Amino acid sequence: MATAPSFLFALLAVCTAISTAAGMATAPTNTTGFVSCLTVHIPPGIVYTQASDSYPSVLDFSIKNLRFVTPATPTPLVIIKATNASHVQAAVRCGVAHGVRVRPRSGGHDYEGLSYRSIDAACPFSVVDLAALRAIRVDVKRKSAWVDSGATLGELYYGIANKSARLGFPGGIGPTVGVGGHFSGGGFGLMMRKHGLAADHVVDAVVVDAEGRLLDRAGMGEDHFWAIRGGGGGSFGIVMSWKLQLVRVPATVTVFTVHRPRNRSASDLLTKWQHVAPALPRDVILRVVVQNQEAQFESLYLGRRTGIVTTMARMFPELGVTREDCIEMSWIESVLYFAFYGTGKPAALLLDRGTKPDRYFKAKSDFVHQPIPRHAWESTWSWFLKDGAGLLILDPYGGQMGGVAPSATPFPHRRALYNLQYYGFWWDNGTEASEQHMGWIRDLHQEMEPYVSKNPRGAYVNYRDLDLGVNDDYCSSGADNGYVKARAWGEPYFNANFERLTAVKAMVDPRDFFRNEQSIPPLR
């Protein structure tokens, strides 16, 4: 009895100290002071306030979703278009001193636009845009490369292929996706079954931390280095550049795309695909895009045509892939083939990062561990895919994806059969269209619940989804119960790794300076 009050007293003292620390998360917001501080440390030509003539074009440059191009979208107070690391360091230090949070933007592809918008207009923030920091230095002899975060995947693949036709990198498909956000969330693409995630091949990095220091792997320490390779962008500092271990690619790879309509055999094929695709040899990936009333099977094989034709005949004869379906090419041509659907496209297309968004979209994701029964595919086709409202993308795992421990990086979904992405898109402006299409994808996601991972139902952090939840009061100091709230999205994205991420966050950013609607809160 006698110990209880003193224990409580001690606990209270600790809590007070912690909440005081939390209360110091950022200084009171002083936007004028922030801008003055920037002008002392950063050349004025690269600081864009909302009053600058070029602000709209700088902001819009890498926005990829029309959903966030509206007059009502809360946008940054200031955009700093950094041209060297010292600008990023100064932005962080000025932000900490004057209570203005800084969000990094690399390629701007965040599905919820969190690299350039907030959901609360009362929440001033700034953006450090890294698009001008995109150097790529390839060391062919050591099979390694340093790439700056502002480079796109297309620029990276182009840069590697330019130096060696026998080296490649296992990242995502979209050529305009930024390296900074992509690696931060793991990053998977067509070579993942052979080589795993993009983040698995990061061997060093340089980051600007919450105190504005520039740290490499040795300087940041292994926990911090673990967290930036899949723990999601925007929580653990601003990664300036990444050192990559490149992979060997054969001189010739083979691709095919075959379409199978629903009224022929697509439901049967899809049902069987779930057993076959994760079990194929790791040199092959066979993904599926389901849209309208057909399934499109797309494959990359790291070898010659004869090999894939034989493998398909042996393991998936029902798909009916013929020699004529298969096209041999170099690895970089296969990158172009999947990015732009076709052959004979110039490699320089991979350098075009200025593509403008042409649609509104909303996406969600799941991980599937047990094959989904045929009747569920039939019903999805009948109810959800009948009028071109959206599509499904099925990316099979297995191979090297399953060969890495779920705790080796923050990305925990290594043992899934496949990732299932739901993608709804529309072209009409206005609330009615938006509500209809957002409703469509939410209903479809709900409908699939019985068939996908559970406790928690998984999701991929690089397919960010604010429906999972958002931080309370995310624009001010981190709330003391932030951890409990953040489990709603932290566990779906990171499973058991979520807790370690919050502990790392407490270590590297205890004041929660790098905070957005779905950032990792510090474990209090």
Give CA–CA dist 309/40, Å, rounded.
Answer: 63
| Closer of 214 and 315 to ligand FDA (Cβ) | 214
**In 154-227, which ranges are E strands?**
167-168, 202-208, 214-215
Q: Which stretch binds ligand FDA (CB under 6 A): 173-181, 254-262, 447-455, 503-511?
A: 173-181
Phi-psi region for residue 259, left (φ > 0), alpha (ψ -120 to 50) or beta? beta
Nearest to 249 by CA among 195, 308, 187, 174: 195
Asked if 234 touches ligand FDA (CB under 6 A), the answer is: yes
Give CA–CA dist 327/254, Å, rounded.
Answer: 5
| Closer of 188 and 381 to ligand FDA (Cβ) | 188
Tokens 């790879």, residue?
A: 253
Pairing of strands 238-245, 202-208: antiparallel
Q: Which stretch binds ligand FDA (CB under 6 A): 24-32, 105-113, 262-270, 465-473?
A: 105-113
How many residues contact ligand FDA, by CB under 6 A?
32
Phi-psi region for residue 214, left (φ > 0), alpha (ψ -120 to 50) or beta? beta
Locate all alpha helices (DSSP H) within 201-304, ordered by sequence. Answer: 217-220, 222-228, 266-276
Asked if 181 touches ligand FDA (CB under 6 A), the answer is: yes
Name which position in 94, 102, 239, 266 contacts ligand FDA (CB under 6 A).
239
Q: At a CB cut-off of 8 Å and minimum separation 6, what does 378 contact? A: 267
Asked if 174 touches ligand FDA (CB under 6 A), the answer is: yes
Name which position in 159, 180, 230, 396 contacts ligand FDA (CB under 6 A).
180
Name which position in 98, 101, 105, 364 contacts ligand FDA (CB under 6 A).
105
Cβ count near 323 (within 10 Å): 10
Asked if 103 touches ligand FDA (CB under 6 A), the answer is: yes
DSSP β-bridge partners for residue 22? none
CA–CA distances in Å: residue 82 to residues 86, 132, 442, 489, 516: 8, 7, 38, 31, 20
CA 294 to chain CA centroid, Å, is 27
| Closer of 149 and 477 to ligand FDA (Cβ) | 149
Site string for ligand FDA, 47-76 (x = CB under 6 A): -----------------x------------
Asked if 522 touches ligand FDA (CB under 6 A), the answer is: no
Name which position in 233, 396, 482, 521 contacts ligand FDA (CB under 6 A).
233
Q: Which stretch binds ligand FDA (CB under 6 A): 47-55, 111-119, 219-227, 406-414?
A: 111-119
Asked if 189 touches ligand FDA (CB under 6 A), the answer is: yes
Asked if 521 touches ligand FDA (CB under 6 A), the answer is: no
Asked if 104 touches ligand FDA (CB under 6 A), the answer is: yes
Pairing of strands 238-245, 144-148: antiparallel
Asked if 187 touches ligand FDA (CB under 6 A), the answer is: yes
Asked if 130 touches ligand FDA (CB under 6 A), the answer is: yes
The side-by-side arrangement of strands in the sheet containing 125-129 is 47-49, 78-81, 125-129, 101-105
Pairing of strands 327-329, 253-261: antiparallel
Q: Which stretch binds ligand FDA (CB under 6 A): 41-49, 53-61, 166-174, 465-473?
A: 166-174
The nearest distance, CB 108 to ligand FDA, in angstroms, is 5
| Closer of 226 and 381 to ligand FDA (Cβ) | 226
Name which position in 267, 462, 471, 497 contacts ligand FDA (CB under 6 A).
462
DSSP secondary structure, 400-449, as one string: GGGGS-TTTSS---TT-SEEEEEEEEE---SHHHHHHHHHHHHHHHHHTG
Asked if 173 touches ligand FDA (CB under 6 A), the answer is: yes
Sites for ligand FDA among residues 142-161 (CB under 6 A): 149
Q: Which residue is nearest to ligand FDA (CB)?
A: 233
| Closer of 222 and 318 to ligand FDA (Cβ) | 222
Name which position in 29, 47, 76, 110 contacts ligand FDA (CB under 6 A).
110
Question: Under DSSP, is residue 242 helix (H, G, I), strand (E, B) or coil?
Answer: strand
Pairing of strands 294-301, 47-49: unpaired
| Closer of 338 and 377 to ligand FDA (Cβ) | 338
| Cβ–Cβ under 8 Å, residues 489 and 469 | yes
Which residues are at the interface with ligand FDA (CB under 6 A)? Answer: 64, 103-111, 114-115, 130, 149, 172-174, 177-178, 180-182, 184-185, 187-189, 233-234, 238-239, 462
